[in-house]
Chain A
Amino acid sequence: MKQLFLSLTLAAATLSGGHAFAQAPDQADEIIRGHYQALLTDCAACHTKAGAKPLSGGAPLHTPFGDLIPPNITPDRETGIGKWTKEEFRSALKQGVGHDGKRLYPAMPYPAYTKMSDQDVDDLWSYIQTVEPVSNAVEANQLPFPFNIRLSMLGWNMLNFTPGEFKPDPAKSPEWNRGAYIVEGAGHCGTCHTPKNLTGADKDGVTLQGASLQGWYAPNITGNTHIGVGSWSDEEIVQYLKTGQNSHSIASGPMREAVQESTSMLSDADLKAIAVYIKSVDGGPSDKPKAVAADDPHMKAGGMIYHDTCSACHGLEGKGAKQLFPALAGSPLVQQPSAETLTHLVLYGSQGATTAAAPTTPSMPALGWRLNDQQVADVLTYIRNSWGNAAAAVAPADVKDKR
């Protein structure tokens, strides 16, 4: 019996050419943990182009400084990171300095990844070794002069980068610390949700308070009860991240991808930790601004447009319909300081996230053909200032910029 077992094991080892099996059992654990790190860090969001092989290089990122193309990070020796050592990989993620001392641009969120533990980064490295090597040469640096000089990142780092692992706060719960570790580190939520300074680095003191990128406005996701997620329960935040929707909102735009590729596959415990942490983040004053008066001519026109165009789905009282149409009344997203996301949704439409738990993918039609700039502005002003909502009026010029 014992002999039979041994020979079966040998046969299995011989037959399987896969990396995972060929390595020692503890490395298999490392690879599985590393795969989870790859979901947390969502490498694929940037490094995998739609329809392409995993991690073989991404679609261009349009930054305010120019375009950067996320490189091929498969283990291919010529065009990927096959020649890198584990130490170089760790240095790239945590110090922003890669193979041969090449400096990375902080579009690669090393200012966040620096907070990851060495263990988590090493696990991720082990996982990436198992990804199929793909030959795809990518010229990452498409920036114009002077931003194309990588050494300039030395100065950027001196100004903006504080390397160092996450330090748990002993005064807080382990759950809060786990949430903070994910959100500030591997999850790099602030890369989109934290406002940036002139050099493109996170501004101090406004962490996760909302920022504009790629034609969308990544909303405030702090404990702010008016425009953050402070009024959502932990369970509602977990549901949103797990399924892409809850009774308040449906993920769309870049967040739709983040949910589909990353948060929907995280453990419930980690999602709960994220919820606990982000609700504790200071989100600025929660005071509502004064709502635009209902008898304002633009509110009146907006109300008619809303009634004729939007109310069939979102309801005359802005309550929406669970699982299909997001509520607008009381929605933090609707009341952000910037109406950029709303403008995008109205002009171009949007499809909700699809996840195993919520596969319906309801979508909003594009209305840019039916409404002119003034009408889009008026209907947005209306939804931002009705049913108890209050936010700045939207100007036609803001809409024109987005066409």
Chain B
Amino acid sequence: MESHSLKRPTRRVFLSSVAMTLVAAGAGPALARSFSGLLPWQEGVANPPLQVRPGGWLFLTPEEVATMEAVVDRLVPADDLSIGGKEAGCVVYLDRQLAGTYGTSGRLYTSGPFLPGLPTQGYQAAATPSQRYRAGIAALNAFTRDAKGGKRFAELSPEDQDALLKEMEAGKVALPNKVDAKGFFNLMLSNAMEGFFADPIYGGNKDMASWKMLGFPGARYDYRDHVSKHNQPYPLPPVSIAGSTDWMAK
């Protein structure tokens, strides 16, 4: 009954839980604080996300930028519905994320053992997202240089780019340096979607373009006045964490 692949994560979960228990027991008094009488609160403290400003690149090299701009423009092409991924700032979003804790897996448990895991468990290897992009983009361009007549990915025609991305998605391409083409495609797709749909404060979704396309009202949190209005479109424009142009007196 027990399959090998099912047993491994169980062992890992077990080890993690033992580790957690030890940490919790050892550092218990330091971690646990009790409050009575008054909830802790400090004046003027908000800890908001920082507004990403376009301009300059913090992690990606110019060649990587050109490659990723080509990729996001194929994943989110400019059409009747919306602007394209490049114009929406998906690569700005990606660059800032890779330069931050996401890029270094700074907020993940990333010590070994590194085992393949099940597809439902997501990425399980040691490389951080920033390492995967550096290796993945280099492998992609090395592949096109050899297979597509010396051209880099960004220099291919949109049709050729689509075809290659589809092959990567299907796992039919063997990229150099053992880069997992399918895994890298999925990583780029996830991050492109995040950049396109996340709050503009993180650098993508320029002017809330994707939210306007979908009719998503944005960073609002109270719809009591609209709950009973069935089959009626929500009348208000989207609002970002950073605000809205309607907040300026005209």
List residues of chain A with CB under 8 Å of any chain B CB.
297-298, 300-301, 304-305, 307-308, 311-312, 316, 347-351, 354, 359, 361, 363, 365-371, 374-375, 378
Q: Which residues of A contact B220 (CB under 8 A)?
A: 308, 312
Q: Which residues of A contact B125 (CB under 8 A)?
A: none
Q: Is A368 a contact partner of B243 (Cβ separation < 8 A)?
A: no
B1 touches A (CB below 8 Å): no
* Given A304-B244, A351-B41, also A369-B249 (CB < 8 A): no
Q: Which 10 A-B pairs have the closest CB atoms?
A: A312-B222, A297-B249, A301-B249, A348-B44, A304-B246, A351-B41, A366-B46, A308-B239, A354-B38, A369-B48
Q: Is B250 a contact partner of A307 (Cβ separation < 8 A)?
A: no
Q: Is B39 a contact partner of A349 (Cβ separation < 8 A)?
A: no
Q: A305-B247, A308-B243, A361-B41 are in contact. List 4 more A-B contacts (CB 8 A).
A: A300-B250, A316-B225, A349-B45, A361-B39
Q: Is A354 a contact partner of B37 (Cβ separation < 8 A)?
A: yes
Q: Is A347 a contact partner of B44 (Cβ separation < 8 A)?
A: yes
The residue of chain B having its C-beta at the shortest distance from the C-beta of A350 within the complex is B43
Instruction: Write the nearest CB–CB distance from A238 to chain B, whole angstroms.
Output: 22
List residues of chain B with CB under 8 Å of any chain A CB.
37-39, 41, 43-46, 48, 220-222, 225, 236, 239, 241-244, 246-250
Q: Which residues of A contact B45 (CB under 8 A)?
A: 349, 366
Q: Which residues of B contact A366 (CB under 8 A)?
A: 43-46
Instruction: Write the nearest CB–CB distance from B47 to chain A, whole angstroms.
Output: 9
* Given A304-B246, A347-B44, also A311-B38 (CB < 8 A): no
Q: Is A307 a contact partner of B43 (Cβ separation < 8 A)?
A: no
Q: Is A298 a contact partner of B249 (Cβ separation < 8 A)?
A: yes
User: How far does the alpha carbon of A360 sit from the alpha carbon of B145 in the complex, in Å?
Assistant: 65
Q: Which residues of A contact B246 (CB under 8 A)?
A: 301, 304, 308
User: Could you list 19 examples of A-B contacts with CB < 8 Å?
Assistant: A300-B250, A301-B247, A304-B244, A305-B247, A308-B239, A308-B244, A308-B246, A312-B220, A312-B221, A349-B46, A351-B38, A351-B41, A361-B41, A370-B243, A371-B243, A374-B249, A375-B243, A375-B247, A378-B247
The residue of chain A having its C-beta at the shortest distance from the C-beta of B239 within the complex is A308
Q: Which residues of B contact A350 (CB under 8 A)?
A: 43
